[in-house]
Amino acid sequence: MSRHKHRTALRATTSLLTLSLFASQAIAQDTADAGFLGTLLLGESKRDVQTDTAVAETVVDAGEIADRQAGTIAELVDSVPGVTLVNGATASGSGINIRGFGANGTYGTDQKVLIQIDGATRGSEELYRIGNQLFTDPFLYREVSVIRGTVGSFEYGSGVVGGVVRLETKNGSDVTNGELGFALRQTIEATSNGDGLTSSTILAWQPSEDTEFLANYTRRTQGVMTDGDGNQINPAGGDVDDPSWLLKAKHTFGSNRDMSLTFSLSETSSDQRDVPYDSFGNVNFGNVDRLTQTRTGTLSYNYNPVGNDLIDLTVALTYADEVIDNTAIIPSFPLLDADHQYETTTLSFKNTALFDTGVINHNLRAGVEFIRRERLDASSAPGGIDNRVAVFLVNDMKIGDFWTVTPAVRYEMSDIEGSTAPNNGTYQNDALMGGISVRREWASGFAAFASAAYTESLPIIDDLSNPAFMTQSEKARSFEIGASYASQDVFGEGDALALKINAYQTHLWDVTSYFGVDRVENTGLEFEASYSTEPGYYLDFNANIASGDETALLTGVVTDWDNTPANSLGLTIGKKFGEELDLSWEMVANKEITLNTSGGVVNAPGFVVHNLRATYAPQQGVLEGTEIRLGIENVLDTQFTPHLSTRPSAGRNFKLTLAKTF
């Protein structure tokens, strides 16, 4: 679709959105005397629609994580509107792109998508041709939330343009269900495409109501997968044999059980032999032996005294260590012997205070962070230390029964020092950023919201080789407007309906992440819906429409932004038979996209893919505690390569998962 047609569609949809807002006002006048119905969280379908917030957020809970049978974290979030995968089937050479930012065919990340595990910030800066944006296993996690855009990001980090991906690891009580004693959960998963086999073993112990422990060991193996035409996908990349483990503990104490300590430590590793240095598969630089290890640790203390709403304090020490060791098979190109290591240590203090000032109810989150990132010096990748201090305030102000105004501000200062000549300079930068969102809800279940935000991405260690970049932060502002609806008994007794639509515009300038680009402007529309009935039928729907322009640095010529995602939609229809059986059909479709970019014409054909899923969880008898999942992905064995990916997606894939809790 041309840029003109993209914008025409966006204007038309925005007009419909405006009309719906006026309509909701009229409905509100008729229902004002009925009283406020309260915020509804609808959870009978596969996924809740977050209608109670102005932030564009999607949460993938534990049930959906298990049902999706994903091989990578990227595959867990690929059904979120605005999220596009770059080679998502394997952790190596893959990444997550949100609203046109994040991973691309050159870098694993561009610093505009923030990723956190148990509050620990991960990131490999602009790591060239390897794509280590998120290397871990889905079996370690109980929840993944995706915040799209900037407005909801200020308590997590700076420079967020695409969004935030937050992952929370499993707890011991998730396995014991709060009962004292030991519990063992064993999961075996087999996949037909690539003869994959994964084993996940969890041992949980809850010696008392106040203490819980968990140990998880997961090993994922997979051969070379084939596409819809039966051709091998990236055969030079070799087989997957990735072990992961997680240790986690929590202890609650104090006279009123108002204090707690939580510890978690996780690691995933991969040892690949004689594989291309360029894991995206674009350029033949040569082959390497590559060892990848990622480790994340957190220790947090929480104090939430009974009867004192002004104190809910969390002090957290987090550590993320990402190591990539490359050894050239034929040592003739120094780039191939690059060994990368990124260590990020953060000490944070965050407090949540609840209080009233007249008719305004405040939920004030305030915090300070001390961040230290150390990067090992490598060929074409300068090393150094980045010390940062950040302060943030986010205040959800509930005014009366219907209005919510949320101002947010973040101040961050950075001190970067290079470790080796000629990149051993010292640079100081700082930025003040923030935003505001306004939300109005009505007793009818309608709500309307709008937001504006500004952020800066301070210079990174990766740019030490370019002194001009070390004093220039990337800047972005965004505007969003949207509406939502949530209610029950809409079309019939016992049903539930939730809708949310969000239009956005993002402008990025003073660009340093992309060669030869001065500024980027993206616009888009995201839609989410869920509907469920009392007999157990449900429907989930999402859609994404996007367009983008880039302006050349030297010539000022405007062309299509080559990281613009394709227009997409997803539809899931299913039926739940009580708590025992869940059957669903999923369709994923991308529209053909043609872009006139600065590098020439880019075309990616459209596609439609069908997936089938069944979950059987007996509630009594000898099979109680057992879960059986059968999935068939790409049922029709469709051949397709998604836009932004550098290799085809997998063909038909049968997946069988057996899980038992003892």
State residue 129's pLDDT score. 54
State residue 21's pLDDT score. 36
Higher per-residue confidence, 474 vs 42: 474
State residue 9's pLDDT score. 41
Instruction: Kindly indicate the confidence band of residue 127, based on its pLDDT and cuts at 50, 70 and 90.
Output: low
pLDDT, average across residues 112-118: 93
pLDDT, average across residues 292-306: 95
Residue span of the structural domain in which 45 resides: 3-661
Residues 6+ apart with CB under 8 A from 157: 114, 121, 164, 390
Q: What CATH number is given to the structural domain containing 436?
A: 2.40.170.20
Q: Residue 336 — φ and ψ, nearest 5°?
A: -70, -20
On whether the pTM is more than 0.75, the answer is: yes
pLDDT at position 111 over 50 = yes
pLDDT, average across residues 25-50: 51
pLDDT, average across residues 591-603: 92
pLDDT at position 286 over 80 = no
pLDDT averaged over the chain? 88
pLDDT, average across residues 229-245: 89
pLDDT, average across residues 542-553: 96
Q: In this structure, what is the dihedral angle of CA atoms 437, 438, 439, 440, given to the nearest 10 degrees?
A: 180
Instruction: Kindly indicate the confidence band of residue 570, based on its pLDDT and cuts at 50, 70 and 90.
Output: very high
Residue of 83, 87, 4 lying closest to 566 (CA atoms) = 83
State residue 329's pLDDT score. 79
Query: Lowest mean pLDDT: which of 284-293, 424-433, 523-532?
Result: 284-293
State residue 3's pLDDT score. 40
Q: Are 565 and 548 in contact (CB under 8 A)?
A: no
CB atoms within 10 A of CB 292: 22
pLDDT at position 589 over 60 = yes
Q: Which residues pair with 627 in a beta bridge?
A: 659
pLDDT at position 36 over 70 = no
DSSP-assigned states of every residue in 461-519: GGGGG-TTGGG--EEEEEEEEEEEEEEESSSSTT-EEEEEEEEEEEEEES--SSTTEEE
Alpha carbons within 13 A on the beta-carbon side of 446: 20
State residue 85's pLDDT score. 83
Each residue's pLDDT tens digit, 441-458: 999 999 999 999 999 999
In angstroms, the Cα distances linking 510 to 162, 350, 381, 552, 557 are 16, 32, 22, 11, 16
Residue 650 per-residue DSSP state: P
Q: Are 659 and 185 in contact (CB under 8 A)?
A: yes
pLDDT, average across residues 410-426: 90
Q: Which residues pair with 530 in a beta bridge?
A: 498, 540
State residue 325's pLDDT score. 80
State residue 134's pLDDT score. 72
State residue 141's pLDDT score. 96
pLDDT at position 660 over 70 = yes
State residue 335's pLDDT score. 60
pLDDT at position 19 over 50 = no
Query: Lowest mean pLDDT: which of 50-59, 326-335, 580-589, 633-642?
Result: 326-335
pLDDT at position 651 over 90 = yes
pLDDT at position 39 over 50 = no
State residue 337's pLDDT score. 66
State residue 465's pLDDT score. 84
Residue 128 per-residue DSSP state: B
Coil vs helix vs strand at 275: strand
pLDDT, average across residues 288-312: 93
Each residue's pLDDT tens digit, 403-412: 999 999 999 9
Alpha carbons within 13 A on the beta-carbon side of 311: 10
Percent of all residues in the chain with a pLDDT value above 90, rounded to a whole number: 71
Alpha carbons within 13 A on the beta-carbon side of 336: 19
Each residue's pLDDT tens digit, 344-376: 999 999 999 999 999 999 999 999 999 999 988
pLDDT at position 33 over 60 = no
Coil vs helix vs strand at 266: strand
pLDDT at position 22 over 50 = no
Each residue's pLDDT tens digit, 147-189: 999 999 999 999 999 999 999 999 999 999 999 999 999 999 9
The whole-angstrom separation of Cα 253 and Cα 260 is 6
The whole-angstrom separation of Cα 320 and Cα 522 is 32
State residue 26's pLDDT score. 36
Each residue's pLDDT tens digit, 56-107: 999 999 999 999 999 988 888 988 999 988 876 666 666 789 999 987 766 6
pLDDT at position 1 over 50 = no
pLDDT at position 23 over 60 = no
Count how many domains the chain has. 1
Instruction: Kindly indicate the confidence band of residue 198, based on its pLDDT and cuts at 50, 70 and 90.
Output: very high
Higher per-residue confidence, 327 vs 251: 251
State residue 99's pLDDT score. 95
State residue 350's pLDDT score. 98
113-117/163-169 β-pairing:
parallel
pLDDT at position 20 over 50 = no
